[in-house]
Amino acid sequence: MTPIFQTSTYVQEAPGKNKGYEYARSQNPTRQALEEAVAVIENGKFGLVFSSGVAATDAVIKLLAPGDEVICGNDMYGGTYRLFTKVYEKFGIRFHYVNMHDPVEIKKHLNGSTKLIWVETPTNPLMNICDITAISELSRSQGALLCVDNTFASPFLQNPLDLGADMVMHSATKYLGGHSDVIQGCLVMNDGGLREKLYFIQKSCGAVPGPMDCFLVLRGIKTLHLRMERHCSNGKKIAHWLRNHPKISKVYWPGFEDHPGYAVAKKQMRDFGGMLSFTLKEDSVENAMRVLSSTKLFSLAESLGGVESLINHPASMTHASIPREERMKYGLTDSLIRISVGIEDVDDLMHDLDAAIG
Ligand SMILES: Cc1ncc(COP(=O)(O)O)c(C=O)c1O
């Protein structure tokens, strides 16, 4: 097993002569093993890991300078939106929040200052699908970088670098770790120059994960394929069952043939995953709260991608930082409930939801 190198520094042979490691913010062998592993599973050349998914996103934005423009989704993860609006806008970086499933919308905002396109697909929590290949053609035409947040799909279902992206980002907290016991993020890329810039940011800004956390993610990756198969089969069964439930109004899951992103999802993903959202026919916060506090197997918690099933309420939890008028515009209604389907027995999970929906 890869040892956990629990050290902050390394003994050197002589001044200026080290054994490949100087100080653990810059290098750590456990972290290095994980960086190589994440690169391999994303079909990339280089991996870098960070102390959280948000720290990985933050490193990408630090590639930019005042006056640069970013095109990103209007329904992306709330924490990414918060980082862009509350931290980086004041430094003179301009973000355009657009409907990323429509390449025409992206094209409208492309200009000489566009330096980055940020894509999340499937999106959180509405499971919208963006066409990575089509967007990569747009970013390349403008000389902008394309970074894909691949957290929801995981490398088992989708490899954005193969589809033309320059960087892949993960909240490794989710499927890569897989056991809800670690916070971590990573970036994977093919370009050596880009790797050098991002490594410089990683060591200069210091948002690196500890070796124990790297060990946990390394261990999680060993079962990623097995867990993902079960997440997908459980997710599919629950999505179809919910769709026929008399008290459910709408189910968001990209594996439905009438889902607007189905054709693209089928083209760029190997399966449809275990993340889905639904709304209640009686659309109210109170009704959603009743369901959310009645499940016994689905635990009420933020996060996703662990072996245990989780349930949450985007409007009051993960997306609380998005103003109500804004979120309503994009379909993030009051009764929208998101579930991360775990790997438990699927019949037990359906009984649990059925009893909670009532
Ligand atoms: C799609 C997506 N991206 C990024 C993040 C941020 O990752 P972390 O919580 O590891 O900082 C999350 C966390 O929920 C997420 O769901």
In order, the DSSP letters of 176-236 are: TT-SS----EEEEES-HHHHHHHHHHHHHH--PPPHHHHHHHHHHHHTHHHHHHHHHHHHH
pLDDT in tens, 191-247: 999 999 999 999 999 999 999 999 999 999 999 999 999 999 999 999 999 999 999
* Overall size of the chain counted in residues: 358
**Closest-lying ligand 1 atom to the alpha carbon of residue 151:** 1
Instruction: Give the sheet arrangement for strand 310-312, strand by strand.
Output: 248-252, 275-280, 337-340, 310-312, 299-300
pLDDT in tens, 67-95: 999 999 988 888 999 999 999 999 999 99
pLDDT at 318 over 80: no
Lowest-confidence region among 1-5, 58-62, 102-106: 102-106
pLDDT at 331 over 90: no
Q: Which residue has the tokens 């929801």?
A: 152
Pocket test for ligand 1, best of 173, 176, 179 (most atoms within 8 A of CB): 173
**CA-nearest residue, atom 10 of ligand 1:** 53
Pocket test for ligand 1, best of 128, 171, 339 (most atoms within 8 A of CB): 171
94, two tokens: 């301009």
For residue 199, count other CB atoms closer than 10 A to its CB. 17
**Closest-lying ligand 1 atom to the alpha carbon of residue 184:** 10
Section 277-285 average pLDDT: 94
Using a 10 angstrom Cβ sphere, with 0-12 exposed, 13-18 middle and 19 or more buried, the burial of residue 164 is middle
CA distance 71 to 61: 12
